Structure formats: C-alpha cells, structure tokens
C-alpha cells in the first residue's frame, strides 16, 4: 500500500478524462436510481416555484453532477501540485479519494438540509457518503482499468518499436551472404567482412575470425551478391571483386592501373576498374 502509484494514473490527460467521464456516468446513474435524499423532498424549492417534478429531478441531477465535478476538479488541481513535491502512494491515493467522496457527501448533505428533509444531519451524511461512494467508485474503477489498459498498450507499442530498432541495428551490424537459391549461407559482422571474390559460379568470401583471414565458398554469382548488398559499405570495385570500404586504407596508381589497399595481411591489392570506379568515389 505504501508503494508509489504509477505516475500515468494522475497524469494531466488522464485526470481530465476522469473529470469528464465520471460526471457523465454519475448523471446517468442518478437519473436511473435517484439514490440521494435530495429527491425525497417532493415539495422542494423547485416544485414550489412551479417547476414540474420531472424537470425538477433533472435540474437537481445537473446540480449534483456540477457540484461533484467542481469538487473533483479542485481536488485534482491540488493533487497535481502535491505530486510535484511528494510521492503519491496507493494508500495516499485511496485516502485522497475518500476525501473527495467525503467532501461531495458533505455538499449533498448541506443541499438536502437547505431543500428540506425530516432526516437528521448525521443520517443524511451517512446516507450521502454511502450512496456517493457507490456513484463514484464504479466510474473511478472503470477509469483506472482503462488507464492501465492504455498504459499497457503504450508500453507494448514502445516494446515493438524497440524490437524493430534492435532488429534494424542487428541487420545493419551483420552482412548476410545468400546462395543462388536465396538461402543464407554466411552471416558475418560488417566490420569482419573484408572482401568477396568471384570464382566462376561461386563467390569466395574473405572475412576476419580471431584476427585471421578465413575464406568460405558460396554458390552464387558476384552480380547477385552485389544486388543483395546494394546500399551497404560492401561495394563492387571490379568485375571480380567486392570490398568493404571500412577496411580501405590506401589508393595507389601504377602502370597496371589503380589499386586499393585494405591493410590486412594475406589480402592482395585489389584493382579498381573504370566501370566500378564510382562505387568507391565516396571513400576517395
């Protein structure tokens, strides 16, 4: 009971929703069951002024709801100030709700005394408190269930977004090499993939594992692999080679053409052909 109540329960949006929803429910409830003693005085001041009993009942119901709404609004405004300075516990929230109900019951008791009734003030207050509790608790509980449901939906949406973000990050962190049937044959962390070399109807994937270069043959063409990896840092630089630009260190030209050095032992200088020069232009 001393555990702090979730902040979404008394958030501004939820408090406004409750202030608007509870009076509507109370108005319907009061009109159907007429639970308060204000209806027991048939010769009340409204009827004595020529207003029909039916209209009198409607006006009394509206006055009850308006007064309850005013009390609830003031209470929630005070609560917002309180929760900024103090932690609201479940026990504290229940006591606060009882205070609201007690204030409403007091207002209804005073109204019944003014209108006129044969019951004593203690009896009026007791009846008003019990009946006000019945009127208010049902919509309060309904609101709390709705708030919890909304919060669970929000958390579920956030969880799904986080999962989507994690999957996106994971997909970007790993490079998948597919075979000619589109089935994944190799998944390598992006920074560990060094280069991919064409070998007839196969591709030879060079990657780092335990600081050593390893190779894996996958049955597929370099063209198809290049299409699959389009948009990544693994780019085609030659009809026979794809390189990971993250490993590119040196670009040099000699009489045989332009070459790029990856600075990894065991990996030769990779030629860059004019056809694919634009693919490495970003790195240059």
pLDDT (mean) for 218-240: 91
The backbone torsions φ and ψ at residue 78, rounded to the nearest 5 degrees and listed phi first, read -65, -40
Can you give the pTM of this predicted structure? 0.53
Whole-angstrom distance, CA of residue 64 vs CA of residue 104: 9
Q: What is the pLDDT of residue 52?
A: 61
Asked if 11 and 101 touch (Cβ cutoff 8 Å), the reply is no
Dihedral sign (CA 199, 203, 206, 209):
negative
Examine the pLDDT at 202 and tell me if it is beyond 80. yes
pLDDT (mean) for 109-133: 79
Cross-strand partners of 218? 203
pLDDT (mean) for 216-244: 92
pLDDT (mean) for 33-55: 55
**Structural domains of the chain, with CATH:** 7-167 (no CATH), 188-280 (2.40.50.1020)
**What integer best gives the mean pLDDT of the chain?**
83
Taking each helix axis from N to C end, the angle separating 12-33 and 121-173, rounded to the nearest 10 degrees, works out to 140
Taking each helix axis from N to C end, the angle separating 12-33 and 53-83, rounded to the nearest 10 degrees, works out to 160
Whole-angstrom distance, CA of residue 189 vs CA of residue 176: 9
Q: How confident is the model at residue 42 (pLDDT cuts 50, 70, 90)?
A: very low
Q: What is the pLDDT of residue 41?
A: 47
pLDDT (mean) for 186-206: 92
Q: Which helix (H) or strand (E) holds 90?
A: helix 90-115
């Amino acid at each position: 009971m001393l555990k702090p109540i979730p902040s979404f329960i008394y958030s501004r949006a939820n408090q406004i929703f409750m202030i608007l929803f509870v009076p509507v429910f109370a108005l319907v409830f009061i009109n159907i069951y007429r639970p308060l003693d204000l209806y027991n005085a048939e010769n009340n001041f409204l009827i004595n002024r020529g207003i029909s009993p039916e209209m009198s009942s409607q006006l009394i119901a509206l006055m009850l709801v308006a007064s309850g709404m005013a009390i609830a609004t003031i209470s929630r405004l005070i609560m917002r100030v309180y929760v900024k300075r103090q932690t609201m516990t479940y026990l504290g929230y229940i006591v606060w709700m009882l205070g609201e109900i007690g204030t409403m019951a007091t207002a209804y008791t005073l109204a019944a005394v003014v209108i006129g009734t044969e019951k004593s003030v203690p009896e009026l207050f007791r009846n008003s408190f019990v009946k006000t509790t019945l009127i208010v608790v049902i919509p309060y509980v309904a609101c709390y269930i709705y708030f919890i449901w909304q919060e669970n939906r929000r958390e579920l949406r956030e969880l799904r977004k986080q999962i989507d973000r994690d999957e996106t990050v994971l997909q970007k962190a790993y490079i998948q090499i597919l075979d000619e049937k589109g089935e994944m044959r190799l998944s390598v962390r992006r920074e560990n993939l060094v280069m991919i070399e064409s070998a007839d109807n196969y591709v030879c994937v060079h990657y780092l594992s335990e600081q050593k270069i390893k190779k894996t043959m996958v049955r597929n063409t370099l063209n198809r692999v290049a299409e699959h990896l389009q948009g990544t840092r693994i780019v085609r630089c030659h009809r026979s080679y794809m390189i990971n630009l993250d490993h590119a260190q040196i670009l040099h030209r000699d009489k045989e053409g332009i070459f790029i050095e990856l600075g990894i032992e065991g990996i030769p200088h990779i030629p860059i052909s004019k056809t694919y020069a634009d693919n490495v232009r970003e790195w240059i």
